[in-house]
Amino acid sequence: MRSRTPDLAMLAAGATVVLWATSFVVIRDVGDTFSPGSMAFIRLFFAIIALAIIAMVSARRHDKRGRDERGGQAQAGGSRGTARLPRGRALLLVLLYGAAWFGGYTVILNWAEQHLDAGTASLLVNFAPVLVAVFAGLFLGEGFSRSLLIGISLAFAGVVVISLGGGDLSADWLGIVLGLVAAFLYALGVLLQKVALRTVDAVTATWLGASAGFVVTLPFAPTAVHELATASAGQIAAVAYLGIGPTAIAFTTWAYALARTDAGTLAATSLIVPAIVIVMSWLVLGEIPTPIRIAGGVLCLFGVAVTRGLIRRPRRGDTGQTSASGAGGAGPTRAEPVVDAGTGEAHPVR
C-alpha cells in the first residue's frame, strides 16, 4: 500500500501538468469566438461549480475520517472536518489572490494568446516563478542567493530572446507585454496565496479564490451571453473544459501530489508544461514558436530551474554522494513558494 503512494502522487502531478498544458491550446483555439473577458467569465463560472462539488466531497471525507479517529464522536469530527470560511485578514488575502490570479491573470492570458501562439505564451508565463523568487526575497525575507541571482539573469535573458524572435513586431510586442503582465499577476497571486494558506485549507482557498475571480469578470457577463448565443456546442464545451479540467481538477490533483511528494521533484514536473504545449499546439493548431523563441524559452526555463535549486553548481571537492543527494529531488526551501503556488489552490496554470 505504501509503495503505491509515490506512484499515485506522480500520476496526479502528471495529470496536472497535462491539464495545464491543454489550457494554453484551448484558449488559443477558441480565441476567435470568445473575447478575453467573456472567456474568463464562462471558464470561472464552470470552475466554481466544479470546485464547490470538490469542496463538499472533501468535507465529507474529513467528516468520516474524524468520526473514525475519534471513535464515533461525530459531532467533534464533523466540526473539524468541515471547511470553515476564513475571516478578517485571511479572507482578504484569499480574495486578493483570487482577483489577481483567477481574475486578472485569466483575462490577460486570454488576451495575450490573441497575439501569440500557445507555445510562446506558455514560455512567457513560466517566467512567473522567477518573479515569485524576487518578490519573496524582497518582501518575505527569503533573501537572494548566488544561484537565485544567476537564475534570474538567465531567465531574463531568455525573455529578451523570446521578445526578439518573432515576425509581426506590433502584434508580437503587445502579446509579449501581455504575457509578462500575466506572469506578474500569476506571481502576485502565488505570494498572496502562500500567506493565505497558512491559515486556510487549500480547497477552500481555491474555491473562494475562483469565486473572487468570477466576481472580477462579472462586467464581461453581457458580452459572454451574446458570444455564447453565436458559439457552437463544441466551442462552449471547450470553455467549460477550461473551468472543470485545468482549473478545478488540476489544482486539486496538484494539491494531492504536493502533499505526498517532495517539493523539488514536483517543481521539476511543472517545467515540462511549455514542451507539452508546443507539441500539442503543433499537432492540433499547426502552430509552433520560431526557433529563436524556442531557444529563448529553453534559456528561460533553465534560469527558472536554477532559481528553484533544481540545477546546482557542483562544489570543489564534492563526491558522487553529493550528486546523488541532489538528484534525490530534495530542493531547497526556496522552491516551495513556487510549488505552493501551484497547489492553488492552485497552481495552477494557468
Mean pLDDT of the chain: 79
Cβ(304)–Cβ(183) below 8 Å: no
Alpha carbon separation from 40 to 36, 203, 217, 277 (Å, rounded): 6, 20, 7, 20
Position 131 scores a pLDDT of 82
Cα dihedral 175/176/182/186 (nearest 10): 150
CA diameter of the chain: 68
- Gap between the Cα atoms of 129 and 194, Å rounded: 13
Instruction: Give me the amino acid identity at 267.
Output: A
- Non-local CB neighbours of 236 within 8 Å, separated by 6+ positions: 42, 228
Domain boundaries defined on the chain: 4-314+321-342
Cell numbers given for 287 = 502552430
Q: Which of 33-37, 82-86, 274-278 has the highest mean pLDDT?
A: 33-37
pLDDT(332) > 60: no
Cβ(163)–Cβ(173) below 8 Å: yes
- Gap between the Cα atoms of 276 and 268, Å rounded: 14
How confident is the model over 19-72, as pLDDT tens digits?
999 999 999 999 999 999 999 999 999 999 999 999 888 777 766 666 666 555
